[in-house]
Amino acid sequence: MSSVRTCKISVPHLLPYCVGKFALVGLSSGLRSALLPYGIRVTTVCPGLMRTGSPRNAYFKGRHQAEYAWFSIGASLPGLTISAERAARQIVEACRGDKAEVDLSLPAKVAVRLRALFPEASALALDLVAAALPGPAHSGNLQRTGAKSTSAWSPSPLTVLNERAAVRNLEMG
């Protein structure tokens, strides 16, 4: 009689997000080539982290307070993020200039170039970021919005820029 061992593997938090972004970049690139004969131009926009205030309306499960704190703080850091207004200006400029692709924030630009030049180092950097994310919890499928996942870390002085963006972008609901 043989025994079967099972292993429960948790899908990393950012895997679906990354797969979706990868697919959209591929689709956008393909559409640009396919639609060019018809005079239709396509610009691929890779924004990186933007200060929109949206984490308060995003859904979190598992360690919802830790996840919300991580994302709301990350979405507030100057230099790591870009304001929605600045992003909009860069997107319009890229479309007017018929650019094939535009990477909006400095970290997004650096990540794209590093990935092309140093794929192994880029993979290691992503591994380190993934390790810094809050791990899974055994709370089932219970979801909470960021607004219902507050803690001592968020809102706090670390999230001021994101909180201001939430007010500006009507994300306070």
**20 within domain boundaries:** no
Which tokens belong to 95? Answer: 């479309």
pTM across the whole model: 0.74
Is the residue at 14 inside a domain?
Answer: no
- Going along 44-93, which residue ranges are E strands? 44-46, 49-51, 59-61, 81-83
Evaluate whether residue 38 is within a structural domain: no
Q: What is the pLDDT of residues 109-125, one digit of tens each?
A: 888 888 889 989 888 88
Distance CA 68, CA 61 (A): 9
Residue 139: the pLDDT is: 58
Domains in the chain: how many in total?
1
Q: What is the pLDDT of residue 173?
A: 63
User: What average pLDDT does this structure show over 48-66?
Assistant: 85
Residue 139 belongs to domain spanning: 43-168
- pLDDT band per the 50, 70, 90 thresholds, residue 7: very low
Residue 9 has what pLDDT? 44
In a domain, 2, yes or no: no
Strand partners for 44: 101
| Residue 133 within any structural domain of the chain | yes
pLDDT band at 61 (very low <50, low <70, confident <90, very high): confident
| Tokens at 18, concatenated | 């990354």
List, for residues 65-110, the tens digit of each pLDDT value: 888 898 889 888 888 889 889 999 999 999 999 999 999 888 888 8
Residue 67, Cα to own-chain centre: how many angstroms? 13
